[in-house]
Amino acid sequence: MRSPEGYEEIRSGVRALCAEFPDAYFREVDAQRAYPEAFVDALTKAGWLAALIPQEYGGSGLDLASASVIMEEINRAGGNSGACHGQMYVMNVLVRHGSEEQRRKYLTGIASGDLRMQSMAVTEPTTGTDTTKLKTTAVRKGDRYVVNGQKVWISRVQHSDLMLLLARTTPLAEVQRKSEGMSVFIVDLRESVGKGLTLRPIANMVNHETNELFFDNLEVPAENLIGVEGMGFKYILDGLNAERVLIAAECIGDGHWFVERATKYANERVVFDRPIGRNQGVQFPIAETFIEVEAASLMRFKACELYDAKKPCGAEANMAKLLAAKASWEAANVCLQTHGGFGFAADYDVERKFRETRLYQVAPISTNLILSYVAEHVLGLPRSF
């Protein structure tokens, strides 16, 4: 891995592309609750979203640290990687555990931009974070699996061609360990929506396309099973460290955006005949959140270094995610406060970014679950569930 300062080429490339999509673009897309199609297309065409796809399948085969810098720069420029970050990490399960045939069939199309694999369906309405109790089933019938059940909060399905699905293939009562008996499938959304799969969009706080999914005897070809039947939960977990790090990077980008906007406004806004930034009551919170964002960034690079060296990095990836999400949320509050009433005006973009960064305290993993992971798996405290 390069030193944290060594990514200038990637940073300037992503910045140049993002400059074509200024605040007004994202503000408009947000107001209309529309998908930033032109932005995602431009990122795809420039190859940024294929960063983690190996070169033999048409990607650029970059390391996780580089990929994290791409996501960071998008958010730092005022955009929202949430519209497309799935493309960056969802296909990782395929890269690591798919058959050669599956990789050839899908990865080359994803890298060229002909196919989008942006969605991963894990969460269910009645089980939430307790994933191993998920109730969606996939039952083998000849050369197909028949899927029944329900998922919730599944993002970007309306803007994706392919979706990874985690479903139970062996009932919980029949497995030795609760993490066994689940499998991952590639669902071709083009052949499934309206033919056993129904979507119900969820209106939500941010401009984030997310849905309830209902599976009613959806048929999935057996060849779409990834890896070995029953091992799916392990495959999904494998990909989560990369996801945690990339989300941390987005928060770091958000954090810098808030700090930069707060600093600019504090320098310009004059009240009581002086810039508000001359008051230490305004300065110090901005300085403090800047320190926190920088510290979170270092933990992000530490997690990347371990991940890219194929060493265990669960603790560092989770800690980076927690620190970064906390820092960006604190920076959001400080930025809003620094702007006073104008922070609430859509034209300043602060309220939009404020809503967007809040999500990362909850998804894709909530703060409590990270604390529980560190307490029990890193520190060895007793298991609470």
Tokens of 333: 């509050």
Residue 201 within binding range of ligand FAD, rule CB under 6 A: no
Per-residue interface string for the shown chain with ligand FAD, residues 208-247, x marking contact by CB under 6 A? x-x-------------------------------------
Residue 373 within binding range of ligand FAD, rule CB under 6 A: no
Polymer length in residues for the chain: 385
- Checking 45-51 for CB contacts under 8 A at 24+ apart, the result is 45/113, 46/13, 46/17, 47/111, 48/13, 48/14, 48/17, 49/84, 49/87, 49/88, 50/110, 50/111, 50/113, 51/88
Name 310's Cβ contacts closer than 8 Å, sequence gap at least 6.
Answer: none
Q: Considering only 193-201, 238-246, 298-306, 360-368, which stretch makes contact with ligand FAD by CB under 6 A?
A: 360-368
Tell me which residue has its CB nearest to ligand FAD. Answer: 128
Residue 179 within binding range of ligand FAD, rule CB under 6 A: no
For the CB of residue 334, give the shortest distance to ligand FAD in the complex, in Å: 23
Answer left, alpha or beta for residue 100, where phi above 0 means left and psi between -120 and 50 means alpha. Answer: alpha
Residue 366 within binding range of ligand FAD, rule CB under 6 A: yes
Helix, strand, coil content of the chain in percent (nearest 5) = 55, 15, 30
Residue from 68, 80, 155, 318 binding ligand FAD (CB under 6 A): 155
Tokens of 289: 């959140």
For the CB of residue 205, give the shortest distance to ligand FAD in the complex, in Å: 8
Residue from 65, 120, 220, 225 binding ligand FAD (CB under 6 A): 120
Are 157 and 211 contacting, i.e. CB atoms less than 8 angstroms apart? yes
| Spatial separation of the C-alpha atoms in residues 237 and 234, rounded to whole Å | 5
Q: Are strands 117-121 and 162-168 parallel, antiparallel or unpaired?
A: parallel
Q: Is the Cβ of residue 204 or residue 217 nearer to ligand FAD in the bound state? A: 204
Q: Is the Cβ of residue 82 or residue 227 nearer to ligand FAD in the bound state? A: 82
Residue 131 within binding range of ligand FAD, rule CB under 6 A: no
Residue 117 within binding range of ligand FAD, rule CB under 6 A: no
Residue 193 within binding range of ligand FAD, rule CB under 6 A: no
Residue 136 within binding range of ligand FAD, rule CB under 6 A: no
Residue from 129, 217, 267, 279 binding ligand FAD (CB under 6 A): 129
Taking every pair of Cα atoms in the chain, the longest distance, rounded to a whole number of angstroms, is 79
For the CB of residue 129, give the shortest distance to ligand FAD in the complex, in Å: 3
Strands (E), the chain: 117-121, 137-141, 144-155, 162-168, 182-188, 197-201, 210-221, 225-226, 270-271, 274-275
Residue 28, CA atoms < 13 Å, CB-side half-sphere? 9
Q: Considering only 122-130, 223-231, 275-283, 304-312, which stretch makes contact with ligand FAD by CB under 6 A?
A: 122-130
Residue from 368, 377, 378, 381 binding ligand FAD (CB under 6 A): 368
For the CB of residue 103, give the shortest distance to ligand FAD in the complex, in Å: 22
Contacts with ligand FAD by CB under 6 A lie at 120-123, 128-129, 153-155, 204, 208, 210, 359, 362-366, 368-369, 372, 384-385
